[in-house]
Amino acid sequence: MTIDKARRRKAVARWHRRFAIFVSAWLVLLAFSGLLINHAHDWKLDSRPLPGMLQLGVYGVETGNSDFCEPLTADHIDCEQLFARFQLPVGVLLLGARDLFLLDDAGQLVEKMSVSQFGLTRLQAAFQEGTRVYLRGAEKVVQTTPDLIEGQVLDPAAVLELDEKDWQAARSPAEAITWERFLLDLHAARFLGPAARLFNDLMAAFILILAMSGLWMYLVNRKKS
């Protein structure tokens, strides 16, 4: 082997290693996101909404109104799910799709109520009329007592009369951005626009270089041995 050939082999091996290190992190991310996308349905990633912080940060989509949480001194409140705030004689009621939070005037949490306690799986909308709150779920509409301890299921005729009221709608999970959408965008590097696509192209070119340099090194070594 001539000195030139030896130098060329060393140079190729050195650049092969550099490219490999540079590309490996991206490749791991791509493989991982691809794996999750492949099983998105099995693992319910196609229906599970992205956490509100990510929806806001990555897509600029607001899931709830975090302003509702501002005056609170209490913990244990998932601000992301909140969609309405009613002032009642018993205190302030914050409404989320899964839970209701009753607060006193100082903003201290009095009670966290699951909507299941009113016979609803998930809250779709609500409105207030005087001291009463009306809660609409997929199955029924419930009218609460002023103290929010009990809920009375309304008959269909009464529900029809309420259709014109000023219902405040909860954000349903179907409207939310899912993990699958996020993973697809991550996989295709769509978050950063043309720059990310260019980066993806560059990485793909590096992989082609890696494949070719690896093949070249394999053939040279094979010939040598």
Closer CB to another protein, residue 107 or residue 165? 107
CA-closest candidate to residue 132, choices 118, 145, 119: 145
Within 13 Å and on the Cβ side, how many CA atoms surround 209? 17
Of 97 and 213, nearer to another protein (C-beta) is: 97
Q: How far is the CB of 27 from another protein (least distance, A)?
A: 10
Which residues of the chain form contacts with another protein (CB under 8 A)? 25, 28-29, 32-33, 36, 43-45, 48, 51, 74-76, 102, 108-114, 116-119, 121, 147, 149-150, 179
In the complex, minimum distance from the CB of residue 75 to another protein, in angstroms, rounded to a whole number: 7
Name the residue nearer to another protein (CB basis): 32 or 218: 32
The smaller minimum CB distance to another protein, of residues 125 and 148, is found at 148
Give least dist CB 167 to another protein, A: 22
Closer to another protein by CB, 68 or 118: give it: 118
* 91: phi then psi, degrees, rounded to nearest 5: 145, -160
Q: How far is the CB of 130 from another protein (least distance, A)?
A: 21
Cα 214 from Cα 187, distance rounded (Å): 25
Whole-number minimum distance, CB 224 to another protein, in Å?
Answer: 35
Min dist CB 3 to another protein, Å, is 39
Q: How many CB atoms lie within 10 A of CB 23?
A: 19
Contacts 24+ apart (CB under 8 A), 43-46: 45/178, 45/179, 45/180, 45/183, 46/178, 46/179, 46/180
Q: What is the DSSP string of 60-97?
A: ----S-GGGGTT---SS--GGGEEEEEEETTEEEEEES
Q: How far is CA 124 from CA 32, 83, 138, 149, in A?
A: 35, 10, 7, 20
CB nearer to another protein: pick between 62 and 104: 104
* Chain Cα centroid distance, residue 2: 59
